[in-house]
Structure 1
Amino acid sequence: MPNGLRTHYEVLGVPPSASGEDIRQAYRGLAREYHPDLNPEDPKAHERMAQLNEAFETLSDPLKRTQYDGTLGLTREDADPSGFVKRPSVVQARLVQRHRVHRTPIYAMAFRSVGGQMITSGFDNEVLQWDRDLAKVEKRYPLEGGAVSSLAALSDGFLAAGSTEQTVSAWRQSEAGTQFWRHHPPEWSVAVAACPDGSCVALGTVGKEARILDARTGRDRFLLRGHKDSVTAVAFSGDGRTLATGSADATVRLWNARTGTQVRGIERIRSTVTAIAFHPDGSRVAVAAVDRSIRVFDTRTSGLLTTFFGHERPIETLAFHPRGWLLASGSRDGTVGLWNIDRGLGHGRIEASHQAVMTVGFHPEGRFMVAGGLDKILRVWRLGGANT
């Protein structure tokens, strides 16, 4: 079962009904007690102080506190007489497999919609195809050149894509063999996404623009302009018709991937975008940012639906459960967060690794969640509880 999130109220030792002055006094007292300068021999002093600072920064700001209370599903009536928060029931996640088969850090994964076969890729550009039980590797595909950071699982193979500085590479593996190309955009690429249907590859650059390339030839299809700073994240909707681009300008733009025209813009993100994921039906998009927030927006209106906080370091990856109600996030703090987007509640964090989690995904049937990252270990959890 995931470890429950320790709330900011619990970090400061105050009830949810605490006044602003109560919060300030609690912070001052704990800061004097746990400051690293006063505890030079305590290896966790800096981490503990960072938690105190984050809790105080959020709860001392009325707007941030209101948003944070919303992520807990908290109202003033939710505090019992003893002052403790009533927690939502958590999703059950039981670790069932740990695979040490990748030789290098794991950066990408994808599942075939039919059959549920998983493919994963490491930093050494070796793509692994797994059996349907996610128990063993069936095939290995060593790819030459480039660096894979995005995968799309196709019915007859896969599309892999990645970038290194001023080179974007793609590999299309099928029964006929492997097609490979390199593209050299005028600006450095910082984000790459493979289209789910295998027809195109999107990339974001430091030059404030994104591009959509033909997956078979590497030729430009569309040049997407509109951001005011580097494009730091790109993601396709499940049907491949919409591309989302996130930027250091703290906005997300939605594009028609078939025509290259902008559909709408999304603001109210406040910091550089680090990861994006579409809801399975395309009605919502989740956006992670440098401030360690996750915001969920309505793709039809650009309206903000809910905001989540809980990770201690930046978020690298997001993925929706096939049924759309649950969102998973992987962070540089080594945890996987689980969030109920329908109710706006945080279910908890799984302490997955002592190193960054770089990719997370769900089996198409929703029974398993998988995560990989810098420690080279692929972890598989069996999910239980309502709606799984």
Structure 2
Amino acid sequence: MPTLYEILGVQPNDDADTLRSAYRRLARLHHPDVSQDPKAHEIMARINEAFETLIDPARRMEYDAMLAGGLVEPAPPPRRKPSQPKPVVVGLLKKLRGNRTPIYGLSFAPDTGRLATCAFDNEIALWDLVEGAQKQKRKAEGCTIASIRALRHGAVVGTGAVEHLLSYCRMDDEGMHTWRLPVEEWVSCASVSPDGRTIATGSVGKTLSLLEAQDGSPRVSRRAHAESITAIGWSDDGQLLATGSADASVKLWHGSNGALLSTFQAIRSAVTALSISPDNRYLAVAAVDLSIRVFNLSSGSLVKVLFGHHKPIEGLAFHPNGWLFASASRDGSVGLWSAGQGLAKLILPCSDLPVTSVAFSPDGTRLAAAGLDRTIKIFEVAAKG
């Protein structure tokens, strides 16, 4: 099947003027008003589709990403010298087992590097990666915990919801503290802020809410999107909060007062996951069309569109270096991508079952991935920069 570039008879690096010239030349030959070919309408329709896609910068970037991602057969890559270093080197280090139900969330403690997990049975665990063992484990009885956050000094907080009931838990040296509160709207996603003091929720009713983590008292509630909110995430410093929606947009909010800062709309389908880079430079957004879009937060511009997974993407996480990020997919794989220049694309087979969460250690040398197979995979990561 010819590519859109081949249909127009142009090269992938040709500019807009060249595209227009090629289109005019083909139109003079194949337009049904001048061509005697019985398939002229069909031929001209393909030419129109190719031109309309490639002349639009955003659609062209998306199409180029599809070519690079293998949805259309790409040209074989040039050979590299064996001595040329790779920007990212990844290897499976160990597997951690001990969960009895699927794992929903992962988070590394910023001070100790220990790994916190939450699972379907609402069991919260804290793992020591050196020993490969659980150092602490408690169940958040009566709660529904789907998002986890490891804090300093051994504390772990989590939140989640079932329909109109919001849950919160905090596990520390003193034990497990929990609360459950009824909420007006059906909560579809929730996340605790990096300092552990605020819970952000998104609802099917299109509302963003900020609550005090200590007791669930409301701080901010506002209509945020035209459709239900499907993803939510904080910046590492807690200053920014992003919400993704079924309306194919992402909005950026002030983390403290919920003021709207900016809107990103060049997404094309419902958002499934998002993540903000540690330096607040990039926003990565995964969507139902299996794409990952990277935006520049300061300018709002679309940096690149990436493809590589074959089933929906459920989790995204940035590396501490700010340009590398990971994706967790229901196809059982983990992806590694570059938000900046270059592709740096790696797809790591991880499980026969969906992977739901990924997280990088504070020093960036470890990548954790987990999901429905109840096993945590720890990868060793060497990333330049």
Residue in structure 1 matching 2:272, options 266, 271, 274: 274
Distance 1:271 1:17, change over 3 A: closer
The one-letter code of the counterpart of 2:77 is V
Give me the whole-angstrom Cα distance separating, in 2, the residues matched to 1:328 and 1:385: 12
Deviations along 1:304-359, one digit per CA (max 9) or x if unpaired, are 11111111111000000111121100011111011011214142200111111100
> Could you say what secondary structure the match of 2:356 adopts?
strand
Distance 1:196 1:65, change over 3 A: same
Contact 1:107 1:358 in 2 (8 A): yes
Identify the residue that residue 47 of structure 1 maps to in structure 2: none
> Could you say what secondary structure the match of 1:168 adopts?
strand
Identify the residue that residue 19 of structure 1 maps to in structure 2: 6
Distance 1:282 1:21, change over 3 A: closer
Contact 1:91 1:347 in 2 (8 A): no
Contact 1:72 1:344 in 2 (8 A): no
The one-letter code of the counterpart of 2:130 is D
Give me the whole-angstrom Cα distance separating, in 2, the residues matched to 1:321 and 1:115: 17
Identify the residue that residue 293 of structure 1 maps to in structure 2: 291
Distance 1:130 1:251, change over 3 A: same
Identify the residue that residue 168 of structure 2 maps to in structure 1: 170
Give me the whole-angstrom Cα distance separating, in 2, the residues matched to 1:230 and 1:262: 17
Residue in structure 2 matching 1:144, options 135, 138, 141: 141
- Tell me the CA shift for residue 183 of structure 1: 2.3
Deviations along 1:267-296, one digit per CA (max 9) or x if unpaired, are 111111110111001122111111111111
Q: How does 1:116-265 map to 2 (within 5 A)?
A: 116-133=113-130, 135-156=132-153, 157-265=155-263
Deviations along 1:77-129, one digit per CA (max 9) or x if unpaired, are xx9xxx52338946221111112211000000111111211111111111111
- Tell me the CA shift for residue 185 of structure 1: 1.8
Identify the residue that residue 383 of structure 1 maps to in structure 2: 381
Unpaired stretches in structure 1, ≥5 consecutive residues? 1-11, 23-56
Give me the whole-angstrom Cα distance separating, in 2, the residues matched to 1:207 and 1:257: 21
RMSD: 2.6
- Normalising by structure 1, what TM-score? 0.80
Identify the residue that residue 67 of structure 1 maps to in structure 2: 62
Identify the residue that residue 316 of structure 1 maps to in structure 2: 314
- Normalising by structure 2, what TM-score? 0.80
Q: How does 1:47-58 map to 2 (within 5 A)?
A: none
Q: Highest relative contact order (Cα 8 Å, sep 6+), 1 or 2?
A: 1
The one-letter code of the counterpart of 1:84 is P
Identify the residue that residue 326 of structure 1 maps to in structure 2: 324
> Could you say what secondary structure the match of 1:20 adopts?
helix
- Tell me the CA shift for residue 71 of structure 1: 7.7
- Tell me the CA shift for residue 20 of structure 1: 3.3
The one-letter code of the counterpart of 1:309 is F
Q: How does 1:87-126 map to 2 (within 5 A)?
A: 89=86, 91-126=88-123
Contact 1:131 1:137 in 2 (8 A): yes
Distance 1:320 1:98, change over 3 A: same
- Tell me the CA shift for residue 179 of structure 1: 2.5
Contact 1:191 1:205 in 2 (8 A): yes
Deviations along 1:173-217, one digit per CA (max 9) or x if unpaired, are 233433211122212111111111000111111101111111001
> Who wins on radius of gyration, i.e. which is larger?
2
Distance 1:90 1:17, change over 3 A: farther
- Tell me the CA shift for residue 65 of structure 1: 5.4
Post-superposition, which runs of at least 4 consecutive aligned residues in structure 1 deviate over 3 A? 60-66, 70-74, 86-90
Unpaired stretches in structure 2, ≥5 consecutive residues? 10-48, 81-85
Q: How many pairs align? A: 333
Identify the residue that residue 373 of structure 1 maps to in structure 2: 371
